Structure 1
Amino acid sequence: MTKDNPRALAVESLTRVANGAYSNLQLDKMIAKSDLNDADRRLLTNLVYGTIQHRLTLDYYLRSFVKPGERLEPWVENTLLIALYQLLYLDRIPKRAIFNEAIQFAKDNGHEGIRRFVTGILHAIDRQGVPDLNQISDPLKRLSVTYSMPTWLVTRLTDQLGAEKTQSILATINQPAAQSVRVNTAVTTKTEAKAELEMAGFTVTESEVSGEGLRLDGQPASRSELFNQGQMTIQDESAMLPVEALQLQPGDQVLDACAAPGGKTTQIAAALDPEKGGQVTALDLHEKKVKLIAKNAARLQVADRVNAMALDARKVDSEFSDATFDKILVDAPCSGIGLIRRKPEIRYDKTPQDSEHLQTIQLAILDAVSRKLKPQGTLVYSTCTILATENDDVVAQFLATHPNFESVRVTTTKNVKADRETATLSIYPDDFDTDGFFVSAFRRKN
């Protein structure tokens, strides 16, 4: 694959993602080893994310021009899907250029038969146009194909939230994610950070959702001096809410039970005062990820109040006595459906069985760590999914089996969704143009 052709690199990236690579990590690697200029890097990113986001839609269109049951080589299929994506979703690239690039790529990487096949498909699409999705009679399938979301997820969300809210969420998830950062209040203030970022050329908007959050436009946040100096970190606005829900005090002893890569750990640490005994113990299964937590804590200048260790949160009995911690955060392993805009392939990788299996793990973690909480202490359970199986259902089952805990209303700095009727807080991608998140809080009774 040529290092300076964004379309060729997009085909390679998509083929690797289909074989299990994460889109964001794969794209970072591809850009790092390429010889692309800024414009072509942006095009590569657009082609990869856009094709993944709309894959079910694009595949539906493509299959109407391919013989039933005909299997395509992955690189040939991705070449055609990328061409379709450009043709249907991008308006600045001329059709002739899209077709010529795809046909030339097929010629360079395959035999004459593949070149003729790709040429024929593209010309047929040009002559006939793509099928009208409104002609799909099954309403769930129509939503699935239109928004490129597996039918099982459309069904789950419709049952859970109703058709109108589901369609609103689906219409949002294929839009670009906003760039947001959390100001590191251990070393600066939001006012100071905002002023410095604006002087550096960023367009800065205060978050509607989180107390320490800012939205940035203009350039990647990682290029900012504030990021390099540890005065801010890249974090979604809704991901900041679980720590806000802990209602931390400077001297608290805190357990972050599922901590890597450390975004919430460092947010907790910024609210603690080591001179008053404040400390956060951060757990992860893998030593490699524990090192990443420690590295992030050092970059954000809060290492003096972070104790990172490799431990399965379900085995905390081996390390900690009961009633050790004032506050506990369980930001649980989950299906990640709330992160679809940032990791679009998630929607195709997950199954209903995955969600049910994760529920078992989530409940096991909650059961284990709950014994380590002091009476009147706060336990916050959160996920980055929007499926009730891993959210409200987990809360109900935990309370049913732990009568010494009670649900308390989630409180956040900006009092998000103040008019909601539930104690728990659900953030959907269409609510504030953020990731989807779920936050619940429990108090241990005396």
Structure 2
Amino acid sequence: MNMREQALETLLRINYEKAYSNLEIKQVLSGHSMKDEDRRLFLNIVYGCLQNQIYLDYIIKQNSSRPVNKLHREVSEILRIAIYQIYFLDKIPSYAIVNESVNLAARIQPQAKGFINGVLRNIIRKIEKDGKEFKFENWNNEKEALSIRYSVPLWIVHKYYETYGKQTAEAIIPLLNEQPPFTIRCNNLKISRAALIEQFEKLGVEAVPGMLSPMAIHLHNLGVFENSIEETSLYKEGYFTIQDQAAMLTVERLNPQPGQRVLDMCAAPGGKTTYLSQLMNDEGAVIGRDIFPNRLKLVSQAMRRLACTNISLQEQDGCVYLEKDKESFDKILLDAPCTGLGVIRRKPEIKYHSTKEGRKELVKIQEKLLENAVNYLKPDGEILYSTCTINKDENENQINKLLQKYPNLKVLPDKNGNDYTYTSPLLDGCDAFFMCLLKK
């Protein structure tokens, strides 16, 4: 199949059938034999169109007689694919992109061939006259300009300003369309970080220690391993797992100790659960719970591969209180379900799919999970509450409500004296996470 047609099908499933980009792409790559250059083009187009969708639609609007939301879905996606290539991929001549797009339309939506050809040629003429660069100086509202150029819905731009302040938000927002570092966590139950770095270097992969976590390694120039890292013997033998440093920091901040009884309330897919075990030297007990049995299977697979034997898995809705667990855990990790606004780089469709109703429902779920966590905690025990979002309603505001309801709780400040810790891509390229450590 033509790579642009495959990208079109994938984008249609993500944008209109609410498929997850990472799962959809993984399925395509595993189900098709592709040359390396075709694989790169496919990934470039799919992620590029998702990351830049608002900007691409803005360009269509400037050059089309019809609004984007009135176009047939296949037509709008064909235009997005073409415009992304014209603006962001320098190796493909514009005339070739136009011809490919018209040919694709001929197979998918033949009545739109002339319209697509006309819009794309208008865009090329405008580029020849004015260039490709987005002119921020022409905008009176800097937040609107950032929203369009970096394809971040305006309400999310406001959230970043609210959380990080103007200067930091304006530095982070352009990074939301950048590829995040490929970061792994060394499993020191089996190998040291230095020894694992040496093993990767023997494979011709540049391995650089992460700056935030003692177990983090950034992998560069992966080459043939770029999309098959899980097929390497190092992975299969459990020497590492793929995890961002922000996720590692949440577990490190909780600081579980060997011999303790620790609960992970939302365990799947198991990255943090297995790190709890790792930091406990596989001693004591980790109880990993999740509501979905299929996702618990992922945790089980990770446990076996990483040789984490002190983990017990339970299919359990964290919102349902269990009286038997009252004051029975030394430490609790609650990495709560959230809007995911801090991992937009990895799942760019998140920024388009979030709804106000969905956000309100998540806040209710988080409140219930936090209340249950407090009741499960032993006196003098600790809870680490974390999210991968920057929405204060899911973060600081949740903690403030909890403290009012449970005055026996107190916040333990981080090493910088902050009650609330935020990470961001400005910190060694990691995701934007929120975390707060509470003591009973």
Matches within 5 A, 1:133-172: 133-134=135-136, 135-172=138-175
SS in 2 for 1:209: coil
One-letter amino acid of the counterpart of residue 356, structure 1: K
Matches within 5 A, 1:55-94: 55-69=53-67, 71-94=70-93
Cα contact 1:272–1:305 (8 A) shared by 2: no
Matched, 1:286 2:292: yes
Matches within 5 A, 1:241-260: 241-260=249-268
Shift of 1:354: 3.2
Hey, what's the Cα distance between the residues in 2 that align with 1:353 and 1:79?
31
Q: 2:435 aligns with which of 416, 435, 439?
A: 439
Shift of 1:131: 9.2
Hey, what's the Cα distance between the residues in 2 that align with 1:289 and 1:127?
50
Shift of 1:32: 2.2
Hey, what's the Cα distance between the residues in 1 that align with 2:172 and 2:290?
32
Matches within 5 A, 1:276-355: 278-302=284-308, 304-318=309-323, 320-355=324-359
Cα contact 1:428–1:434 (8 A) shared by 2: yes
Among the aligned pairs, what percent are the same residue? 32
Hey, what's the Cα distance between the residues in 2 that align with 1:159 and 1:321?
38
Normalization by structure 1: what TM-score? 0.92
1:6-46 CA-partner distances (Å, limit 9, x unpaired)? 11111111111112111111111122222321111011001
Shift of 1:210: 1.2
Cα contact 2:327–2:379 (8 A) shared by 1: yes
Hey, what's the Cα distance between the residues in 1 that align with 2:422 and 2:163?
12
Hey, what's the Cα distance between the residues in 1 that align with 2:349 and 2:109?
27
Shift of 1:356: 3.4
Against the structure 1 CA distance between its residues 99 and 69, is the aligned structure 2 distance closer, same or farther, given a 3 Å change threshold? closer
Runs of 4+ aligned structure 1 residues displaced above 6 Å come to none
Match of 1:385 in 2: 389
Against the structure 1 CA distance between its residues 388 and 198, is the aligned structure 2 distance closer, same or farther, given a 3 Å change threshold? same
Task: Identify which range, 135-144 or 32-41, moves more after superposition.
Answer: 135-144
Shift of 1:69: 4.1
One-letter amino acid of the counterpart of residue 418, structure 2: T
Task: Identify which range, 372-381 or 352-361, moves more after superposition.
Answer: 352-361
Hey, what's the Cα distance between the residues in 1 that align with 2:152 and 2:206?
33
Match of 1:23 in 2: 21
Matched, 1:216 2:227: no
Match of 1:191 in 2: 194
**Structure 1 alignment gaps of length 5 or more:** 411-417
Hey, what's the Cα distance between the residues in 2 that align with 1:290 and 1:162?
38
Match of 2:4 in 1: 7
Task: Identify which range, 391-400 or 346-355, moves more after superposition.
Answer: 346-355
Against the structure 1 CA distance between its residues 186 and 54, is the aligned structure 2 distance closer, same or farther, given a 3 Å change threshold? same
Hey, what's the Cα distance between the residues in 1 that align with 2:247 and 2:173?
20
SS in 1 for 2:418: coil
Q: 1:395 aligns with which of 399, 411, 420?
A: 399
Matched, 1:177 2:180: yes
1:32-65 CA-partner distances (Å, limit 9, x unpaired)? 2223211110110010001100000010000122
Shift of 1:159: 3.2
Normalization by structure 2: what TM-score? 0.93
**Structure 2 alignment gaps of length 5 or more:** none
Q: 2:274 aligns with which of 257, 266, 271?
A: 266
Against the structure 1 CA distance between its residues 191 and 160, is the aligned structure 2 distance closer, same or farther, given a 3 Å change threshold? closer
Match of 2:113 in 1: 115
Match of 1:413 in 2: none
